[in-house]
Structure 1
Amino acid sequence: MRNVVIVATKALIVALFAAIVFVQVAYVPANARSFAQAAPEFAALELPGILLVDALLLCGQVVLVCVWALLSLAAEDRIFDNAAFRWVDIIIGSIVVAGLLIVAGLVVLDAASAGGPFTALAGLISLICAAGLALVVVVMRGLLRQATQLRQDLSEVV
């Protein structure tokens, strides 16, 4: 059962990763180009918008790679190794970078007087979600640390 879940999750990661690559390569540039043509006063935001959105999507891809690595460790029954902490730390870092990119995007939009209150509200909600997700992963890292320590203690007893 456990291996089936791991394989299914990895298959979903592959599908999601491929979808993100498609969005990065095809959708984001095309959407930015059409927006720049529809609103020429904001055409200068085309390249920064593409770069910020692609960087944000890259953060998601990094998280997917880390989850893949953690799944591999779980499949090998090595999830309580110290190697798992490196992957969890990278996930936390990616979420923090994503939050910083959201802030950068809001600053760019504000400097260009683009977007309205809804855009600012959506950005603020996204930032709160990123902070909450980072905190949840930090708590999960603490639980992993405790479980790893308990496993080490148990192996010394046995």
Structure 2
Amino acid sequence: MGKLTGWALRAVIVVLLLGSVFVQVVLVPLLARDLDELNKDAADLPHVPILLILVLGILCAEVVLTCVWQLVTKVRHGTVFSPSAFRQVDIVTAAFTAAALLLWTLGAVLAPGEAVAPGVVLLIGGAGLAVLGVALVVLVLRTLLAQAVARDAEAAQMQAELNEVI
């Protein structure tokens, strides 16, 4: 990865992190107020679980962004093919899995009653499935990282043996 790509990715991560903090600090309280003012049909919606799921979902995204930042730093330093990179990849996988579970929980919270159309609940379930799919892709990439780390260790051992012969 080139320097420009690394800096561009970091700039995107900073903007996304700042945006997520803005959502948590400004928009979630506004949403809480709006939920309180909804008409009678939607008054049955449980406000606290919806807001809690939203905040936890944003937290999952922030965790992923932080881990990606750390992995980009490892790439820049040339240490991404080391066992220490597995920790960040495992955390990313767990965060995506948690986000999928949060989406399915949101669907379950919204499903009862007439306040939310069944199609919306179905879309939320589909989004949860897509997020779980991303977690599985990251898991596959973790396997590729493990193979690369093993090959790197093997190459280092062979280089050491070659140096002894020479």
| TM-score normalised by length of structure 2 | 0.88
CA distance in 1, matches of 2:65, 2:54: 17
Q: Which residue of 2 aligns with 1:18?
A: 18
Report percent identity of matched pairs. Answer: 33
Structure 1 spans left out of the alignment, 5+ residues = none
Q: Which residue of 2 aligns with 1:84?
A: 85
CA distance in 1, matches of 2:45, 2:128: 24
Say which SS state the counterpart of residue 133 (structure 1) adopts.
helix
Q: Which residue of 1 aligns with 2:154?
A: 153
Q: CA RMSD in A?
A: 1.6
Q: Which residue of 1 aligns with 2:95?
A: 94
What amino acid does structure 2 have at the position aligned with 1:32?
A: A
| 1:104 and 2:102 correspond | no
Say which SS state the counterpart of residue 38 (structure 1) adopts.
coil
Instruction: State the Cα distance separating 1:124 from its structure 2 match.
Output: 1.6
CA distance in 2, matches of 1:83, 1:127: 29
Q: Which residue of 1 aligns with 2:27?
A: 27
Greater percentage in helix: 1
What amino acid does structure 1 have at the position aligned with 2:9?
A: T
Instruction: State the Cα distance separating 1:111 from its structure 2 match.
Output: 3.9
Say which SS state the counterpart of residue 134 (structure 1) adopts.
helix
Deviates more, 1:26-35 or 1:55-64: 26-35
Q: Which residue of 2 aligns with 1:71?
A: 72
CA distance in 2, matches of 1:22, 1:75: 29
Please list the CA deviations of residues 110-145 of structure 1 after superposition, one character each: whole Å capped at 9, or x if unmatched.
Answer: 245531122112112111111210111011001111
Structure 2 spans left out of the alignment, 5+ residues = 160-166
Moved beyond 3 Å, runs of 4+: 111-114
Q: CA 1:112–1:29 in 2, change beyond 3 Å: closer, same or farther?
A: farther
Q: Considering only CA atoms, is the larger Rg found in Structure 1 or Structure 2?
A: 2
CA distance in 1, matches of 2:97, 2:71: 19
Q: Which residue of 2 aligns with 1:131?
A: 132
Say which SS state the counterpart of residue 31 (structure 2) adopts.
helix
CA distance in 2, matches of 1:127, 1:72: 30
Q: Is the 8 A contact 1:62 1:91 kept in 2?
A: yes
Instruction: State the Cα distance separating 1:36 from its structure 2 match.
Output: 2.6
Say which SS state the counterpart of residue 54 (structure 2) adopts.
helix
CA distance in 1, matches of 2:65, 2:112: 32
Instruction: State the Cα distance separating 1:28 from its structure 2 match.
Output: 2.2
CA distance in 2, matches of 1:112, 1:104: 15
